[in-house]
Amino acid sequence: MALELKVPEVGESITEVMIGTWKKREGDTVAIDDSIVEIESDKATVELPAPTHGTITKILKAAGEKAVVGEVIGYLEPAAAGAAAPAPPAAQPAPTAAAAGTPVVGVTRKEGRTDIGSVSMSPSQQPRVMPAAARVLGEAGVSPASVTGTGPGGRITKPDAVTAAARPAAAVAARPPAPKPAAAAMAPAATGGGPREERYVLISPIRRKIAERLVDAQQQAALLTTFNEVDMSSVMALRAKFKDSFQERYGVKLGFMSFFVRAAVEALRAVPQVNAEFRDPHIVYRDYCDIGIAVGGGKGLVVPVLRNAELLSFAQIEQSIGDFARRAADNKLKLEELQGGTFTISNGGVYGSMLSTPIVNPPQSGILGLHAIQDRPMAVGGQVVVRPMMYLALTYDHRLVDGREAVTFLKRIKETIEDPARLMLEV
């Protein structure tokens, strides 16, 4: 008997998800715990593992479609039960309905809205169209009957639809122009003469949640940014001196982020308002530092959290950040690792950012922005010398943090980075 593949629980209060990439297709054999499909929520991406050895016999939800927790999205025939196909589910998906002679669902745009319509076709001409493909064909105004499907059983997949939608534009571009006056012949050159195609890509749940939270932060908090700069000479010299022995002993490179995490801990202790939360009618102060580290993930920016950063050594910080970065690239971060931070550090310098105003991650009250290190002429001891300098930016919620506290916080960061012995002595 076929096993149902259901959307798993992906986090508290999350009821709707989006189907991501199917790692397996209909007819593929899988081993136990093999990844079958990615499930995307507004907080993280999880993978659905195979519950046993067997064969994927049916896929009910295509990539890009929405589903609810507990919904059946496919079937798996256990290896011991043979390759018999499962009994059809009570609710047939759109492709099967099309094959039975019902209208194929399409998409049309009207007055700025996306409306669902239908394309009537005779049963003998109706191809099996995946829902995501039907959406693309409807937007492009292409009949499914003119598309050759390359999916299982001749299904029209989304890549098939995208190719078919682009074909008319390519044909028009390749058609030789009719003779026209010289003035008219110059018109294509005025527009560049190149392809002007547009691609529609569904917003992923995590990107939608990022957008919502950033807009909420702008609308609900009184955000202000203050700046300072730090001389990186001492940290760079210390790192150059001990980087080889550090990597040999701990198996990880000594980076700059561990210095800034430790400096942030000291600054948060000195200015606890930056580590607090505005929870009307109270202000919640914290005696611990859960510092989020913004990293670029496969689905967008994510902020895994270093729990109790005040208790971590340089090696533990570097090892944790390296692990976060690797798993973020593969969408392997756990949901609980992305929740509950009290302060955030964002390093735009790795991408070459000179200066920026980072946005607070609510309900936090502050975020520290790091930037690129550049050699600049500085006045030191009455002489002009070239030093490796970095701009620092602190965006904070002015409802909790006054300008004096914000400046004091950045000054504390500057002092500990320019004299890293302070980090060892905690002074």
| Per-residue model confidence (pLDDT) at position 417 | 96
Least reliable range by pLDDT among 70-74, 133-137, 166-170, 304-308? 166-170
Does the annotation mark 375 as catalytic? no
- pLDDT above 60 (res 146): yes
Length of the chain counted residue by residue: 427
Residue 427 is predicted with a pLDDT of 63
Is residue 20 pLDDT above 80, yes or no? yes
Name the residue ranges covered by the structural domains of the chain. 3-91, 96-174, 206-425
The answer to whether 3-91 and 206-425 have equal CATH topology is: no
More confident residue, 252 or 120: 252
Please report which confidence band the pLDDT of residue 152 belongs to, taking 50, 70 and 90 as the band edges.
low
pLDDT in tens, 258-273: 999 999 999 999 999 9
Q: Which of 287, 397, 398, 419 is catalytic?
A: 398
Q: Which of 265-274, 275-284, 300-309 has the highest mean pLDDT?
A: 265-274
**Cα 86 to Cα 1, 80, 82, 192, distances in angstroms:** 7, 14, 11, 54
Residues 387-425: tens digit of each pLDDT: 999 999 999 999 999 999 999 999 999 999 999 988 877
Gap between the Cα atoms of 284 and 306, Å rounded: 20
The residue among 120 and 230 whose pLDDT is bigger is 230
Give me the pLDDT at residue 13, please. Answer: 65
Say if residue 201's pLDDT is above 80. no
The predicted-structure confidence for 31-48, as pLDDT tens digits, reads as follows: 988 889 988 877 677 888
Neighbours of 148 (CB within 10 A): 10
**At residue 229, does pLDDT exceed 60?**
yes
Annotated catalytic residue within 33, 244, 330, 402: 402
Total Cβ atoms within 10 A of residue 408? 17
**The Cα angle at residue 231 between residues 228 and 237, in degrees rounded to 5:** 150
What is the predicted pLDDT for the residue at 333? 84
Q: What is the reported pLDDT for 205?
A: 75
State the average pLDDT for the chain: 81
Report whether pLDDT(326) > 60. yes
402 is catalytic: yes
Q: How much is the pLDDT for 91?
A: 47
User: Mean pLDDT, to the nearest integer, of 91-106?
Assistant: 42
Gap between the terminal Cα atoms of the chain: 68
Domain 3-91 has CATH 2.102.10.10: no
Is the per-residue pLDDT at 151 higher than 80? no
Predicted confidence at residue 123, as pLDDT, reads: 43
Domain 206-425 has CATH 3.30.559.10: yes
HSE, side-chain direction, 13 A CA sphere, residue 231? 14
Per-residue model confidence (pLDDT) at position 191 = 55
Whether the model pTM is above 0.85: no
Per-residue pLDDT band at 140 (split at 50, 70, 90): confident
Q: What is the reported pLDDT for 39?
A: 85
CA dist 421 and 253 (Å) reads 20
Distance CA 189, CA 418 (A): 56
Q: Are 275 and 292 in contact (CB under 8 A)?
A: no
pLDDT in tens, 349-388: 988 999 999 999 889 999 999 999 999 999 998 999 999 9
